[in-house]
Every structure is written in structure tokens, then in C-alpha cells.
Amino acid sequence: MQRRKFIALAVGVAAAWPLEAHAQQTGRFYRVGFLWDGPDVFPDALEAFRQGLRELGYEEGRNIVIEYRWAEGKPERMRELAEELVRLKVDVIMAPSSIYTAAAKRATSTIPIIFMSHADPLGSSHVADLARPGGNITGLSLMMTETNVKGLNLFKEAVPGISQVAVIFDPATPSHGPGLKAVEAAGPALGLRVQSVPARSATEYDNAFTAIVGEHADAVLVLSTPLFIAGAKRLAELCLAHKLPSLFGPKHHVQEGGLMSYSPDRADLWRRGAIYVDKVLQGIDPADLPVQQPTKFELVINLKTAKALGLTIPYNLLARADEVIE
């Protein structure tokens, strides 16, 4: 399928910055902290970030070192790892999503923190304003609160017969509060009842689906968070086992067997995150760097899963998909 690009609204400023090789001009050596779940979560996005640094003249081991700290599916470790990066006196901390940004924020109010795929930085109170963040935190947002609503519209278009959607969320993920509220508000206009189902760990997945089936939901929307991304295969299996159409954020879930996903292109956002690293390393205050919105979105549909569920996806929706898995 031909990839389709959707253009988001700008935040009052141009999204792109000149790609100048500043690192080659200063002769300094920089230390960047990177707080994330693990190298196997969005490896294409991680490589896009590294490539973005290389394009700006940063070469690991020569003029920059990246201190990777992996939580490895253990949320309780995030604060400890963030504090470790602070003790190393890194020049900047990369904390891609809301849950890692929250951990870094608790650890420091002075070291610049850059997120690259934050679901809702304003709704999570991690920035005071999108145009002028006002603190030591800025970056690039998925705008997932808005994207979830768009995805829900596409979901209803794909499976018009659904009437009750169970939304699986993690109460510990800062962006899930506003994200859930937005979906609940959007449901009635689409003729959908919304059931909220919390899951705080992978051990709660089975109980979550027991609650979903017990309330007679006929579809599932899973909000994006590293916890659920790590459990993508199991979540897809549970949806299929209970004959429930599923909507996810990252396409990783659909590659593991989910029905469909709608989300910004994370690789593009992480590559652009390297530009913000460069800006901060050159002395620009993160308080003055506006939060950027996504400009590329991905709609992915798994036809094999649709067939297993006995569903026929409308042709006009398939034609708009960026990727169709057969």
C-alpha cells in the first residue's frame, strides 16, 4: 500500500530546524542520558534517533557518549535509573514517553529532559504550555489524546457493528488519564459505550479480559504505554481468543496479531528528537523550545486477524492504510 501522510496542526512555530553539524564546530565531548524500557522496544525508532545524531555531526565514542539505562519492563526501576543519570551529570536526559518523563522529572529540575513520543505533555502537566514549555522539559509529542479519538473513528469505520468498547489503560501512566477522558467523551457521538479497564501489570491482563467479557464489550482499545507494548503478543492473543476486534496505538501490536493501529510515526519523531538534543547542547533553554507535534501518521491493518474474527474491512479504509498485513 502507498504510505499516506497526514499533516498535523503546528504549535505556532515551524516544526523543522536547520540540520547544522554543530558537533563538528565546537570540539566538545557530550554525555547524553537515555532512559527507556530496552533496546528491543521500537528499535527502528532508536536507530532513527542515532542516525539523526550522526547527521548532526555527533559520533558515539568521539564527541558524544550515550548512557543507556534500560528499565526492562520493571516500572519500579525507572526512578532509580533516572537518579543514576543525574549522578553521572549528563548534559541532557532523553525520556521518550510520559512515564519515563515523569521519572526523570522527579529526579531533576535542572538537567534538560527531552521526550520524543510523549502522549500528552500538556495534559500530564509535564509542560506549562506547548509553545513555551517553561521548565527543563520539552520535546516531541504523539498528541495521543487527540490521536486516540481519530483512531476510534477509524475503528468504528472498520467495524461498524461494535457498540461497546473496553479501554485498557494503566493508571500509573500519566498520559492515560486525559487519554481515557477524551475517548469517553468521544464515544457517544459514535454510538459507543466506553468501559474503562485498568491493568497495572502483565499479571492483570487475564483479569482485565474477564471484566471485559463480563460487561459484554464487543471491541477493545488499548492505550499506548511501554507496559502494554512489552505485552503486545499476549494482548493480541487475548483479543483473538475472545473474538474481540482490537485497536492499538503502535503498529508493533498489529505485527503481533492485533487487528489495527493508528499512531504517529515514532521513527520520524525520534529522528527529530536528535535535533532537540543538538539545540540543548548548544545552549538553548528547553523552556524556549516549543513542543512539536507529529506530521506523519500510520494506519496499519492486519487482514489475517480480520479473517480470523470473521470481519470484512471496508475497501476504502484498506486503500487509506499505510500498511496492510496479509
**Which of 21, 115, 19 is closest to 63 using CA atoms?**
21
What pLDDT shows up at residue 144? 87
Query: What band does 283 get if pLDDT is binned at 50, 70 and 90?
Result: very high
Q: Which domains does the chain have, with CATH numbers?
A: 22-142+265-296 (3.40.50.2300), 144-263+298-325 (3.40.50.2300)
Reported as a single tens digit per residue, the pLDDT across 227-259 is 898 899 999 999 999 999 999 999 989 999 999
Neighbours of 241 (CB within 10 A): 9
What pLDDT shows up at residue 17? 43
> How many angstroms separate the CA atoms of 128 and 137, rounded?
10
More confident residue, 14 or 243: 243
Query: What band does 73 get if pLDDT is binned at 50, 70 and 90?
Result: confident
The torsion of the CA quartet 53, 50, 285, 119, rounded to 10 degrees, works out to: 140
Strand partners, 195: 166
Could you tell me if 16 and 55 are in contact, meaning their C-beta atoms sit under 8 angstroms apart? no
DSSP per residue over 264-310, as a string? E-HHHHHHHHHHHHHHHHTT--GGGSPPBPP--EEEEEEHHHHHHTT
Q: pTM of this prediction? A: 0.83
Query: What band does 9 get if pLDDT is binned at 50, 70 and 90?
Result: very low
What pLDDT shows up at residue 24? 52
Q: Is the pLDDT of residue 321 over 60?
A: yes
Q: Is the pLDDT of residue 16 over 80?
A: no
Reported as a single tens digit per residue, the pLDDT across 51-71 is 999 999 999 999 999 999 999
Query: What band does 22 get if pLDDT is binned at 50, 70 and 90?
Result: low
Query: What band does 41 get if pLDDT is binned at 50, 70 and 90?
Result: confident
What pLDDT shows up at residue 4? 39
Give the cell for residue 161: 457493528
**Which residue is listed with cell 467495524?**
159
What pLDDT shows up at residue 19? 44
Using CA of residue 176, residue 178, residue 179, residue 180, what is the dihedral sign?
positive
- Averaged pLDDT of the chain: 91
What pLDDT shows up at residue 13? 38
> How many angstroms separate the CA atoms of 21 and 266, rounded?
23
| Residue 188 burial (C-beta neighbours within 10 Å; 0-12, 13-18, 19+) | exposed
Q: Is the pLDDT of residue 266 over 60?
A: yes
Reported as a single tens digit per residue, the pLDDT across 146-201 is 999 999 999 999 999 999 999 999 998 888 999 999 999 999 999 999 999 999 99
Mean pLDDT score, 219-223: 97
Reported as a single tens digit per residue, the pLDDT across 121-135 is 998 999 999 999 999
Q: How many CA atoms within 13 Å lie on the side-chain side of 309?
A: 28
Reported as a single tens digit per residue, the pLDDT across 44-53 is 999 999 999 9
